[in-house]
A and B are shown apart, each in its own frame.
With several copies, the nearest count.
Chain A
Amino acid sequence: MGNPIIEINHLTHTYPGSRAGIFHVNLTVSRGEFIILAGKNGSGKTTLLRHLNALLSPDSGEVLVHGNDAAKKPTLARRTTGMVFQDADTQIVGETVYDDIAFGPENLGLPRSDIHRRVSAALETLGLAGLKERTPATLSGGEKRRLAIAGVIAMDPEIIVLDEPFSNLDYPGVLDLLACIEALQRDGQTIIMAIHDIEKVIGLATRMIIMDQGRIAHDDKPENLTETVAAFGVRKPEQRSLVQWE
């Protein structure tokens, strides 16, 4: 399976005062994959993804990023994996679109000229070039989502993680974002996406992981799982969408 970027061994995490969490998760992520993470509300998708970024620390088990323990090298983990959160508003920091995208590269302490180059490239990739002076609060839902992705791309991560990126978008917004994700994938970007309505992206994905009650229930090629998903609270995709959702 190529060269693993991330290797998760027996990862367990529980929340204090609650029996929910994730349990004994094993997973490797290799370059160029597009992984769908599906499962009911509360099945542990977000919890798992936060570990990739060392935003939570394991109760037991480990997350290795290029062989280094993420808990000990959180910065490495965060540079390797860029997270786009479900709620775009939470993620937006800057006063303008440009400033917001520059937030990550500035934290990395890059020289100004590099920052400028990266921000310009990200603006271009996500079709935000015309909006760079706008205040993020005045953007539409779809534009905000693209801004959140641009902020992550400007950090040049090896993996991009998207947590339910389609929520609250109208149909043009969905199409727009899909086109953008497709373009990223074509460029060889590794992508992990948590999503409920898998129909939209199942044609693009190379792998699908189904979570149930904090455990990985299935991990296979998407086309092998289309019959299985319904048992795990995920809507079965229509046949045609195995090719392309439009």
Chain B
Amino acid sequence: MDNSNQLKMTVYASLFAALIAAGAFMAIPIGPVPIVLQNMFVLLAGIILGPRWGLASVGVYLLMGALGFPVFAGGAGGLGRLFGPTGGYLLSYLPAVFITGVVSQTLGKKTHWDILAMAAGSMMIYAMGVPWLKMVTGMAWGKAVAVGMYPFIIGDLLKITAGAFSAGIIRPVIHTPALGKITTE
């Protein structure tokens, strides 16, 4: 990202951190792992901001949560939550946003590539989230997959589709030189 847009990217990354938190707010508890919109905004951050700024965005989000701000699912927060049963999902957002960003950058900014990139990120989320859930709660593998993955697959597919549409809405807003490029020395 070139230097002249550093400020804009800082602002957008912060906005995404806030959107991720807002997406965690609307959580539906269906067991130890709730349904959230949070992961959609994580993946969206990857395709809109790219890997580096995506990481910054998720990093700030997790940092705020770790400090005790109520930004995790259902208004929870704190280090305990980060090391709790759903901590694996939360921490997986870092590699997930990075992978999504890299895939999206290499493939290009088309809707079908967006979907692919987000699917790749999604797999990363489960690859870390489910084993962590099994470890912390001491469930059997079958049980962990049953409460930590199966119930979300359809929802996540819908979220990925919605995310791809959202990208189509957001890109024109932020790429029009609407308010000009901000130059710094």
Q: Are any A and B Cβ atoms less than 8 Å apart in their complex?
A: yes
| Residues of A that sit less than 8 Å from B by CB | 15-16, 50, 54-57, 71, 73-75
Interface centre among B179, B180, B181, B182, by most A CB within 10 Å? Answer: B180
Measured CA separation A74–B183 after assembly (Å)? 7
Asked whether B183 lies within 8 Å of A16 as measured between CB atoms, the reply is: no
Query: Which residue of the partner chain A has the closest CB to B177?
Result: A16
Measured CA separation A15–B177 after assembly (Å)? 8
| Residues of B that sit less than 8 Å from A by CB | 177, 179-185
- How close is B71's CB to chain A, nearest CB, in angstroms? 16
- How close is A12's CB to chain B, nearest CB, in angstroms? 14
- How close is B14's CB to chain A, nearest CB, in angstroms? 11
- How close is B8's CB to chain A, nearest CB, in angstroms? 12
Which of chain B's residues have a CB closer than 8 A to the CB of A15?
177
Query: Which residue of the partner chain A has the closest CB to B178?
Result: A15
Query: Which residue of the partner chain B has the closest CB to A54?
Result: B183
- How close is B5's CB to chain A, nearest CB, in angstroms? 13
Query: Which residue of the partner chain A has the closest CB to B11?
Result: A93
A-B contact pairs, 13 of them (CB 8 A): A16-B177, A54-B183, A55-B179, A55-B180, A55-B182, A57-B180, A57-B183, A71-B183, A73-B185, A74-B183, A74-B184, A75-B184, A75-B185
Which of chain A's residues have a CB closer than 8 A to the CB of B177?
15-16
Known A15-B177, A74-B184; further 12 A-B contacts with Cβ < 8 A: A50-B179, A50-B180, A55-B179, A55-B180, A55-B182, A56-B180, A57-B180, A57-B181, A57-B183, A73-B185, A74-B185, A75-B184
Interface centre among B177, B182, B183, B184, by most A CB within 10 Å? Answer: B183
Which of chain B's residues have a CB closer than 8 A to the CB of A71?
183
Closest 3 A-B residue pairs measured CB to CB?
A56-B180, A74-B183, A55-B180
Measured CA separation A71–B183 after assembly (Å)? 8
Which of chain A's residues have a CB closer than 8 A to the CB of B183?
54, 57, 71, 74
Measured CA separation A73–B185 after assembly (Å)? 7
Measured CA separation A16–B175 after assembly (Å)? 12
Measured CA separation A54–B180 after assembly (Å)? 10
- How close is B174's CB to chain A, nearest CB, in angstroms? 14
Measured CA separation A74–B185 after assembly (Å)? 7
Query: Which residue of the partner chain B has the closest CB to A46?
Result: B179
Which of chain A's residues have a CB closer than 8 A to the CB of B179?
50, 55
Which of chain B's residues have a CB closer than 8 A to the CB of A56?
180
Query: Which residue of the partner chain B has the closest CB to A15?
Result: B177
Query: Which residue of the partner chain B has the closest CB to A71?
Result: B183
- How close is B55's CB to chain A, nearest CB, in angstroms? 23
Query: Which residue of the partner chain B has the closest CB to A47?
Result: B180
- How close is B73's CB to chain A, nearest CB, in angstroms? 24
